[in-house]
Each structure stands twice: as structure tokens, then as C-alpha cells.
């Protein structure tokens, strides 16, 4: 790996582990009993047709077993040909392991690359060139880098229509940048460029500007092709736009106006510039896009050493990974000369150093204005992104809502992707009304600005608890010796620290969350954790039971797992739940740790992206470094059961845990393998189930390059069935 590659990867792989607590220890002493039936079991049959309020409008019935199935409804806009029912088995032929430079998809399907990095969203600007000469500014009108979470919003006329498939807005995240492959100069730094502060490595102003503009979100209007197969971009659509790490965003909820977010840009603390490291994505029940801010740590510099800050200030920064050497690593966006700035404080805004008299004179608080679930209305091009601070500040992976029910709170589930971090949920104060569908950011104000943020505790016995993070309760007050909490703003800005106090369970890097439309159960990928069982503060526990043995020594959880839970009585606002581990990822030849009995057709490592389609098919994507000698990252389709469907408990690393039904070729199968070097991420389906969009991040070799070019590019992949039918249609039998 070259130095430049190292730099850029460092910036992305900010899987910091800044959780100093011993919370898991607390958990392990609670109970070692495994008494699965002692716990309340969540209800299975959802009554909520309203779940589909913002999704294809289909009816639901209960079958004889009381489990809910989706059926066709005379009102559904989707062809009533039986495709809405979840397939009973996976009939396609599994895609074999592959280390090829090319992608492969199941027989009978077609996978096409679209919308690679640099694609112009309007006419009048050049196509991407392999010499990367296009200007930094032009990326305000081009696809950005490292496509990630996305959603297809059906569109009818000028409005959102959850049932429309002919035309839609494809909205997606651009998570980070591959610096070395973006600039015509490669990753270029100069030594000791200016006077105070003297940076070891100074970035070029135009490179930083290009990188800032390659982050964020793209909104792209898509129209079905005339032959009915797949989609093409509507270039020049008035909806096409980019939101970048330079776009003004609104802070809403309890943190808006707080002293903790006052900056020179907005001394009142209601606005900030930019959204950053937008990772997973979600839909709101009312039809807006929810993007997330994950590894924003990598674009900020912590200039001051510990001696210049109070203990609480140090703790607040440390807990979010901004450690003392933090001025000299990451993207170094703060380093170009101030004289090269084209907008006010273009570079200094990424520096946390207190250089002015007060917070209103510098960017010491800039860091606190990132790390939020951010709502975007793709149908209102003039609208500003809304950072929903009530949902807490951490390394947000994605945001999944629970089935909504008229007159009940709206609930969102979220993971904090760092080693040993936590799983959260937010329960709105406002009660759901179907009349808010299509209500845009006003509906967001109603449901996302006031409510309760909870953090999850997974007990050893398979039960779990949600602990509220409310100022003044459970020790979240000014008497806290580590970080005195002066108000709810502080609890939310330092949500990790608040979660520490209430004894949250340290997890193996929570990535995507998805809620089953059939059972209402919640699934979270725990991608891996190299410190599990290795460091004393992260011992194995029932919910995170694996630490592989390498030469007789614990070496952490390399391959990850997927945990799931059922809220008590099926009520998503409940404060207790029952959990088990749905799936242990592992190479199938790793017999001792292949606890879900995977085989060649369905083995995987490091699950990350996760998506239940509205039929209840679970799609699992991987971002792995442990199995890539054997196979590139992949997409699998799965048909899960429910919590407690496993026959027995299993033991791993001397730790007992609860595992679900074993894997088989009937319930999980590899559907797609990406090109060498990539991560497979971001997933959405059109309402007619005929097109599946996924994203390919940081491919290796020359995948995505222009003809004859050598620069690989991240891009979207559009998957359709060759016969134009519904993806995973029951009728399909491979030749
Ligand atoms: Fe952006 Fe945790 O993946
Ligand atoms: Ca991820
Ligand atoms: Ca990942
Ligand atoms: Ca990624």
C-alpha cells in the first residue's frame, strides 16, 4: 500500500475505539443463565397496514399460524400477480466465490454499472476524464465518490408516490473520498508550508475543495427506459442536485441554539456548513430521505493538547475519537493556506483549535455540529438539510423506522459504528397520523425534534432493556464526575458518554439496522471487532460471543454476526425485548466458529448493509477484510424466521449464546459478488420489485474506469431480471 493509499484509508477506516467504560463487565455479572422462555416474546402479527404507508400500499393478512403475510390488495398499484408474497424458498443458483475484477450476479439476472463518480448531473459540463482534470467546483453538479446508502423515491408529477415505479428520484450518499484517485495530482502534500500553525503535511486548496464537494448526497431523477428494462438518468432534471460538505444545514431539536454548537459561521448555533461521511440511509415514514453522518472524525483536526482544555472538554473530544495527535492525520482539510480560501473560513472551519476569544470567533465547536441523522426532502430542491439532533450524536450508520401505526409514536432504530459502541432507538413524542405522508420536512419537525432517545442493554439471558437518555435521570446530571451534563443538549451531543453512564452494552461495531415487515423484529449487523475478547474492557458476552483463537490467543471477532430482537408485545415503544443471534458470519471451512452452519453457497464475512424489502426478503451486504483471499464482497438474499427459532444454544470462545435457525440453501444464498477490492453497500428496490439498485465502493483494479482509463470508480449497479420479471419471483427456475 502506498503512502497515499494509507492516508486515504486511514481517513475512512476511522473505526475508532474510544469507549473507555467497563459496561460489558457490568453486563456479564447480571446473569449467566440462559432461560430463553423466561422472557416475554414479542408479538409476530403486525396489524399495521400503516407500515406500508410510505411504502407500496399493500394489504396484510394473518395466516393460520398467526404470522403476518403480505398479500395483494385491489388498491395496490403494483401488478397483482402474486409477487408481493415473500418467496417460499430461494430458487436461484448461488453465485460462487469470486476474486475476479468483474462483478457476477445470479443466472437469469443482469447487472449494469450506472452513475459512476464524476457523472455530470446537468449538460454543459464535461464527462469525467481519466486524467481527473475536472474542476473542484464542477463536483457540485456531478456524482460524488464512494456511493453508499440510497433510496428510490417513486414520483408522480411533482410529488412523492410510494407506488410509482416509472419515474423516481434515486437519492444516495457519497460517504468519503479516495484522495489518491480523485485529484489530477494524486494525494499531494507539501511540508511546512506556512507559518503558525506549521503543519507537517499541507493539502492543496483545490484538492480539499474537490474532496469537500465529492462528499454528501446526490439526488438523481431516473426514468424507466423505453424498453421497460431498468432506468436512465434524466439529465438536467430540476430535481438533480448535490448536497456536499459545504452546503448549509439546519440544526433542529434540543441541540439547536446550544452553546455547544455556536461557531463563527453561526454564532447563534442554529446552522452549520456541510454534511459529512454519509454512510447508510433510510426513508422516513412520511417520505423524506434520512442520511447519516458516520466517520466525520476524519475531516476535523483537534489542534489543542489536553493541557489547554478542561477535563470535561477533553473527555467530550476523546469520547468521539479526537485524540491529541489528531491535528496530523485524516484528510487534513484544515491545512491549505487561508489566502487560498474562496469562501469564508473555507479551511479553518475544520480545525477545532480555539483561536478566538469565544466560540463565536472560531470553529472549536464545528466538530459538535456533525454526527447527526440528517433529513433531506428530495422533492424540494430549495430545502435545507435538517440535522435532527434529538436522535443523538454518534457515528451513525443508518436509520430504520419501525412499522408506523395510527395514534402511536414513530420509532427509529440506529447503530453507532465504532468498536464497542452502542445500539439506540428514538421514540417520538408526537403520535403518528397517516395524513402526514408527503408532509416533507414539516412532518420531520413534528416527529423528529421531540422524543426520547434510548440505548440498548443486552442481558446474558436473552432479555434486553432500553434505557432512556434524559437529562436529570439515571445519573445524567451535573453531578457526573466524568462529564457533568448541564442539560439535554449535552446529553445528546455526547450521547456516547450518556449511554456509558446508564450501562449500555458494547457491541461489535453496529452497522445497518432493518426491521422485518413480516415479524416487526429488528435486525442489526455487527460487522466485526478486533478487540473483542482481546482487550479487558471488551470481554466476550452472550450478544458478542466470538473471539477467534489464533495460536492459542484470542484475536477478536473477525467475521461478525447479525443480532435481532423482538420488542415486548410487538410494541416498538416498549422498554424491554428478547434477542438472539440470527446469523454468525464465517468462512464455511472455519468449522469451530461456523456456528450458523454456512456452506460454500452462503458463507460470508463482515455483514454490513442490511435491507428488508417490503416482501420480507432480507438482503445482506458485506464489507470484509477477513475472507477476501477467497472471495470479494457480496450481496446475499435471505428468508429469516424469528427470534428463538434456533433449536439450541451454542458456545463460542467459552461463551454460551443464543443462535437462530441454522443456515441452509433454502434460507440464505449468495446473489451477487462485487469486483475485487470493493465493498458492496447501499440498497434499494423499486416499488414494482423489478429493479434492485446497489452500490460499489472503492473497487480495485480498473472497475468503473472510462474505456481505456486506469482510475477505478465507485458506482451504482442496477440489477434486473433478464425476462423483465420481479426479482426473486417465485416462478423463476434457473435453466
Ligand atoms: Fe460507513 Fe460503518 O460503514
Ligand atoms: Ca457500512
Ligand atoms: Ca463496514
Ligand atoms: Ca464503507
| Predicted confidence (pLDDT) per residue in 54-97, tens digit | 332 222 233 333 333 332 232 222 333 344 789 989 999 999 99
CB 294 less than 6 A from any atom of ligand 1: yes
Average pLDDT along the chain? 88
- What pLDDT score does 67 carry? 32
Query: Relative to the CA of 623, which ligand 1 atom is closest?
Result: 3
Over residues 189-199, the mean pLDDT reads 57
CB 181 less than 6 A from any atom of ligand 1: no
Pair 103, 611: CB distance under 8 Å: no
Q: How confident is the model at residue 731 (pLDDT cuts 50, 70, 90)?
A: low
Closest of 297, 259, 502 to residue 393, by C-alpha: 297
417 C-alpha to center of ligand 1: Å?
6
CB 416 less than 6 A from any atom of ligand 1: no
Query: Relative to the CA of 295, which ligand 1 atom is closest?
Result: 1
Classified as helix, coil or strand, 342 is: coil
Pair 205, 337: CB distance under 8 Å: yes
Degrees to nearest 5, angle at CA 288 with 280 and 122: 85
Closest of 483, 508, 511, 509 to residue 497, by C-alpha: 483
What distance, in Å, lies between the first and last C-alpha atoms of the chain? 43
Peptide bond connecting 467 to the previous residue in cis, omega within 30 degrees of 0: no
Pair 288, 378: CB distance under 8 Å: yes
CB 500 less than 6 A from any atom of ligand 1: no
Q: Give the distance from CA 517 to its chain's centroid.
A: 19
Which ranges constitute the DSSP H helices of 242-391?
A: 311-318
403 C-alpha to center of ligand 2: Å?
23
Nearest CA to ligand 1 atom 1: 279
Task: Please enumerate in sequence order all residues whose Cβ is within 8 A of that of 659, keeping only pairs 6 or more positions apart, or say none.
Answer: 580, 581, 584, 595, 596, 646, 648, 649, 650
Pair 246, 307: CB distance under 8 Å: no
Query: Relative to the CA of 511, which ligand 1 atom is closest?
Result: 2
CB 279 less than 6 A from any atom of ligand 1: yes
For residue 198, with 0-12 CB atoms within 10 Å meaning exposed, 13-18 middle and 19 or more buried, which class applies?
exposed
pTM above 0.85, yes or no: yes
- What pLDDT score does 82 carry? 46
**CA of 395, nearest ligand number:** 1
512 C-alpha to center of ligand 1: Å?
8
Closest of 405, 404, 375, 408 to residue 390, by C-alpha: 375
CA dihedral 599, 462, 37, 518 (to 10 degrees): -60
CB 397 less than 6 A from any atom of ligand 1: yes
Count CA within 13 A, CB hemisphere, residue 382.
0
- What pLDDT score does 79 carry? 31
Pair 713, 117: CB distance under 8 Å: yes
Rg from Cα positions in the chain: 24
All residues with CB under 5 Å from ion ligand 2: 511, 608
CA distances from 380 to 222, 239, 240 (A): 16, 8, 11
CB 511 less than 6 A from any atom of ligand 1: yes
511 C-alpha to center of ligand 3: Å?
7
Does the pLDDT at position 268 exceed 80? yes
Give the DSSP H/E element, type plus range, for residue 11: helix 3-12
Over residues 645-658, the mean pLDDT reads 86
CB 417 less than 6 A from any atom of ligand 1: yes
Count CA within 13 A, CB hemisphere, residue 718.
21
625 C-alpha to center of ligand 2: Å?
13
Amino acid at each position: 500500500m502506498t503512502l497515499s493509499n494509507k492516508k486515504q484509508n486511514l481517513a475512512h477506516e476511522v473505526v475508532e475505539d474510544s469507549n473507555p467504560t467497563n459496561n460489558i463487565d457490568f453486563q456479564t455479572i447480571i446473569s449467566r443463565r440462559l432461560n430463553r422462555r423466561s422472557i416475554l416474546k414479542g408479538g409476530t402479527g403486525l396489524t399495521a397496514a400503516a407500515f406500508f404507508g410510505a411504502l407500496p400500499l399493500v394489504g396484510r393478512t394473518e395466516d393460520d399460524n398467526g404470522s403476518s403475510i403480505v398479500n395483494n390488495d385491489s388498491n395496490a398499484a403494483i401488478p397483482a400477480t402474486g409477487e408481493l408474497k415473500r418467496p417460499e424458498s430461494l430458487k436461484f443458483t448461488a453465485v460462487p466465490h469470486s476474486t475476479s475484477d468483474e462483478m457476477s450476479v445470479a443466472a437469469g439476472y443482469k447487472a449494469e454499472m450506472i452513475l459512476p463518480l464524476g457523472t455530470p448531473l446537468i449538460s454543459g459540463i464535461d464527462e469525467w476524464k481519466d486524467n481527473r482534470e475536472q474542476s473542484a467546483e464542477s463536483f457540485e453538479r456531478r456524482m460524488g465518490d464512494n456511493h453508499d446508502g440510497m433510496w428510490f423515491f417513486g414520483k408522480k408529477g411533482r410529488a412523492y408516490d410510494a407506488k410509482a415505479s416509472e419515474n423516481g428520484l434515486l437519492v444516495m450518499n457519497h460517504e468519503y473520498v479516495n484522495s489518491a484517485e480523485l485529484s489530477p495530482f494524486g494525494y499531494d502534500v507539501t511540508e511546512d508550508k506556512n507559518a503558525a500553525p506549521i503543519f507537517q503535511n499541507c493539502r492543496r486548496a483545490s484538492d480539499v475543495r474537490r474532496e469537500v464537494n465529492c462528499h454528501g448526497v446526490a439526488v438523481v431523477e431516473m426514468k424507466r427506459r423505453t424498453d421497460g428494462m431498468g432506468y436512465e438518468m434524466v439529465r438536467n432534471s430540476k430535481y438533480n442536485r448535490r448536497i456536499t460538505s459545504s452546503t448549509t444545514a439546519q440544526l433542529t431539536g434540543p441541540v439547536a441554539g446550544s452553546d455547544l454548537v455556536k461557531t463563527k459561521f453561526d454564532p447563534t448555533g442554529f446552522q452549520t456548513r456541510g454534511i459529512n461521511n454519509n454512510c447508510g440511509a433510510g426513508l422516513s415514514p412520511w417520505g423524506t430521505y434520512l442520511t447519516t453522518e458516520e466517520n466525520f472524525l476524519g475531516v476535523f483536526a483537534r489542534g489543542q493538547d489536553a493541557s489547554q482544555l478542561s477535563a470535561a472538554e477533553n473527555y467530550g473530544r476523546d469520547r468521539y475519537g479526537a485524540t491529541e495527535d489528531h491535528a496530523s492525520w485524516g484528510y487534513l482539510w484544515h491545512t491549505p493556506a487561508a489566502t487560498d480560501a474562496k469562501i469564508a473560513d473555507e479551511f479553518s472551519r475544520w480545525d477545532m483549535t480555539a483561536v478566538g476569544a469565544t466560540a463565536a470567533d472560531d470553529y472549536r465547536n464545528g466538530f459538535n455540529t456533525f454526527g447527526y441523522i440528517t433529513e433531506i426532502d428530495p422533492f424540494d430542491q430549495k430545502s435545507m438539510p435538517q440535522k435532527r439532533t434529538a436522535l443523538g450524536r454518534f457515528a451513525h450508520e443508518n436509520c430504520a423506522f419501525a412499522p408506523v401505526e395510527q395514534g402511536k409514536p414513530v420509532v427509529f432504530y440506529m447503530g453507532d459504528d465504532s468498536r464497542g459502541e452502542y445500539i439506540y432507538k428514538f421514540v417520538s413524542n408526537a403520535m403518528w397520523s397517516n395524513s402526514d405522508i408527503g408532509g416533507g420536512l414539516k412532518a420531520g419537525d413534528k416527529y423528529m425534534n421531540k422524543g426520547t432517545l434510548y440505548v440498548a442493554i443486552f442481558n446474558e439471558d436473552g432479555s434486553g432493556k432500553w434505557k432512556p437518555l434524559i437529562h436529570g435521570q439515571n445519573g445524567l446530571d451535573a453531578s457526573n464526575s466524568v462529564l457533568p451534563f448541564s442539560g439535554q443538549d449535552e446529553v445528546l451531543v455526547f450521547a456516547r458518554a450518556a449511554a456509558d453512564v446508564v450501562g449500555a452494552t458494547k457491541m461489535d461495531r453496529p452497522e445497518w439496522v432493518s426491521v422485518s415487515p413480516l415479524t416487526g423484529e429488528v435486525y442489526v449487523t455487527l460487522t466485526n471487532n478486533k478487540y473483542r475478547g482481546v482487550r479487558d474492557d471488551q470481554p466476550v458476552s452472550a450478544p458478542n460471543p466470538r473471539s477467534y483463537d489464533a495460536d492459542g490467543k484470542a484475536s477478536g471477532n473477525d467475521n461478525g454476526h447479525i443480532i435481532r430482537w423482538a420488542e415486548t408485545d410487538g410494541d416498538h415503544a416498549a422498554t424491554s425485548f428478547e434477542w438472539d443471534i440470527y446469523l454468525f458470519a464465517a468462512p464455511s471451512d472455519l468449522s469451530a466458529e461456523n456456528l450458523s452452519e454456512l456452506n460454500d453457497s452462503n458463507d460470508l464475512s463482515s455483514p454490513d448493509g442490511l435491507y428488508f424489502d417490503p416482501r420480507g426478503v432480507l438482503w445482506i451486504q458485506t464489507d470484509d477484510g477477513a475472507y477476501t483471499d477467497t472471495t470479494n464482497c457480496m450481496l446475499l438474499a435471505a428468508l429469516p424466521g424469528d427470534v428463538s427459532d434456533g433449536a439450541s444454544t451454542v458456545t463460542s470462545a467459552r461463551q454460551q449464546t443464543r443462535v437462530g435457525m441454522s443456515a441452509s440453501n433454502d434460507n440464505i444464498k449468495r446473489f451477487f459478488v462485487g469486483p475485487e477490492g470493493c465493498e458492496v453497500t447501499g440498497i434499494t428496490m423499486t416499488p414494482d420489485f423489478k429493479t434492485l439498485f446497489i452500490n460499489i465502493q472503492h473497487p480495485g483494479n480498473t472497475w468503473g474506469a472510462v474505456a481505456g482509463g486506469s482510475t477505478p470508480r465507485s458506482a451504482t449497479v442496477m440489477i434486473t431480471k433478464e425476462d423483465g420479471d420481479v426479482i426473486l419471483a417465485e416462478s423463476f427456475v434457473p435453466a
